[in-house]
Amino acid sequence: MLDLKFIRNNVEKIKRAIELKNDHADVDKLIELDTEKRKMLIEVEDLKRQRNTVSEEIGNMKKLKQDASEVIAKMRNVSDKIKELDEQIRKLDEQIFEIQIRIPNIPHPSVPEGKDESANIEVKKWGELPEMDFQPLPHWEVGEKLGILDLAGGSKVSGSFFINYMGLGARLQRALISFMLDLHIKKHGYIEVYPPFIVNRESMFGTGQLPKMEEDMYHAAVDDLFLIPTAEVPVTNLLRDQVLKGENLPVYYTAYTPCFRREAGTHGKDTRGLIRVHQFDKVEMVKFVDPKVSYDELETLLGNAEEVLQLLELPYRVLTLASGDLSFAAAKCYDIEVWAAGLSKWLEVSSCSNFEDFQARRANIRFKRDPSSKPEFVHTLNGSGLALPRTVIAILENYQTDEGTIIVPEVLREFMGTDIIK
């Protein structure tokens, strides 16, 4: 959420940001309501001064045993007017807030302008694309032949876009989660969190999923709780309404969770196999940092995610997202796309984002540089480290052999207990 004073003083900049993100918010209406509210506040303050003066006058008259009934009646009229204006201001606050929370974050100046993903810019590549002397199969064929993916079973139990992993497929999931968590904890300095997988409405608001993206979320209406779309939600909200000590920054958390997304607006896209599913596993990295260093922290976050793919020896590329492809809350985002040989295409496997103080303002996460200083909002960042379905796709498709087996990446063998899936 953007600061109201900042919006007031940067109307054209805000409108341009909304346009760049292909979003909609009535900034003019917000300014109109805000102007009306500020006029009322001036009027209320003037009336309160009058009330204080009248109260003092009544006190003096009573001391002198004078008739104060007319003055008391005047004070009642003033008090009634104050109550009336206070109620109008409260309603204006609600209307302003409803518009304010729908204004997206402003893209960082380094973000390329563009309407959609076609304007994303590739900033680096790593690894060599695998060369095979046979026609590589897509992961769903490889996985079903090996008995490690049960696509029909997932659909039978839960419906379309749900997946069963079987045998060594399930073990591969577990191995990847353990490998990623160990890397982020032991080498990158993150604290592991095992959070709830269901959160309240306040948490979803804090990270920016609500109210804009409610239709894409799984909602338990009876309790008004939401299945998490990403560990970013519960982990970021662990520090909601807290004031941190500046000396304790940065704070790094990492968490494994399943993620649940209805993706109401994406039906008909990427319908085969693991490319797009409603439930998937992910290891997430979340940072709370001093605003002065948040863009350095973004580069480090990106490097942490990249190292997972480097150790798995999976070729990838990094894209800077254009303004029109940025999420509602992000100021800047890198996507990491891994190569899938069977599909012969790049697949997004991680997004690393800096939200600046946008989430922190919504969730009220602040810090003090020293005990006597005024609290400031932290900057929050998060990144997938990594999302598992497309990591699994890349392993199954890039490490397949002409015998129909899968070579297990060397770094996973101690977790898997085998060097081949057959």
CATH (domain of 47): 1.10.287.40
Identify whether 175 is part of a domain: yes
H or E element at residue 407: strand 406-407
Domain span holding position 132 = 117-421
One domain, residues 93 and 192: no
Residues 58 and 149 in one domain: no
Asked if 214 and 326 sit in the same domain, the reply is: yes
The pLDDT of residue 66 is 80
DSSP state of 185: I
Q: What is the pLDDT of residue 199?
A: 98
Residue 91 pLDDT exceeds 80:
yes
Q: Let me know whether 144 and 30 are in one domain.
A: no
Q: Which of 141, 171, 232, 261 is catalytic?
A: 261
Q: Is 110 part of a structural domain of the chain?
A: no
Asked whether residue 107 is domain-assigned, the answer is: no
Active site residue 214: no
Whether residue 269 is predicted with pLDDT greater than 80 in this model: the reply is no
Catalytic residue among 348, 369, 376, 413: 348
- Across 390-403, average pLDDT: 98
Catalytic: which of 203, 351, 353, 384?
Answer: 351
pTM of this prediction? 0.93
- Contact (CB, 8 A) for 319 and 123: yes
Last residue of some domain: 73, 100, 127? 100
Q: Is 276 a catalytic residue?
A: yes
With respect to residue 13, please indicate whether it lies within any of the assigned structural domains: yes
Residue 261: active-site member = yes
Based on the fold, state whether residues 310 and 209 are members of the same structural domain: yes
d(CA 356, CA 187): 25
Q: Is residue 63 part of a domain?
A: yes
Question: 421 with 406: CB under 8 angstroms?
Answer: yes
Burial class (CB in 10 A: 0-12, 13-18, 19+), 63: exposed
Question: Poorest-confidence range of 71-75, 223-227, 270-274, 335-339?
Answer: 71-75
Q: Which of 100, 131, 150 marks a domain boundary?
A: 100
For the chain, the farthest-separated pair of C-alpha atoms sits apart, in whole angstroms, at: 108
Closest residue by Cα to residue 108 from 329, 286, 289: 329
Check if 362 is active-site.
no
* Residue 387 within a domain: yes
Of 203, 262, 390, 397, which one is the catalytic site residue?
390
Shared domain for 8 and 44, answered yes or no, is yes
Residue 318 covered by a domain? yes
b/e map 332-366, b = 16+ CB within 10 Å: bbbbbbbbbbbbeebbebbbbbbbbbbbbbbbebb
What digits encode the pLDDT tens for the residues 102-120?
999 999 999 999 999 999 9
Number of domains comprising the chain: 2
- Give tens-digit pLDDT for 298-331: 999 999 999 999 999 999 999 999 999 999 999 9
> Do 24 and 169 belong together in one domain?
no
CA 361, CA 52: separation in Å to the nearest integer? 36
Q: Same structural domain for residues 86 and 143? A: no
Indicate whether 60 and 126 sit together in one domain: no
Are 85 and 126 found together in one domain?
no
Tens-place pLDDT, residues 125-137: 999 999 999 999 9
CATH of the domain at 411: 3.30.930.10
Residue type at 419 in one-letter notation: D
Domain boundary residue, one of 100, 127, 153: 100
Residue 351 appears among annotated catalytic residues: yes
End-to-end distance of the chain based on CA atoms, in angstroms?
A: 51
User: Which residues, in sequence order, are CB contacts of 13 under 8 Å at separation 6+?
Assistant: 106
Instruction: Inform me whether the pLDDT recorded for 264 exceeds 70.
Output: no
Q: What's the rounded mean pLDDT across residues 154-161?
A: 94
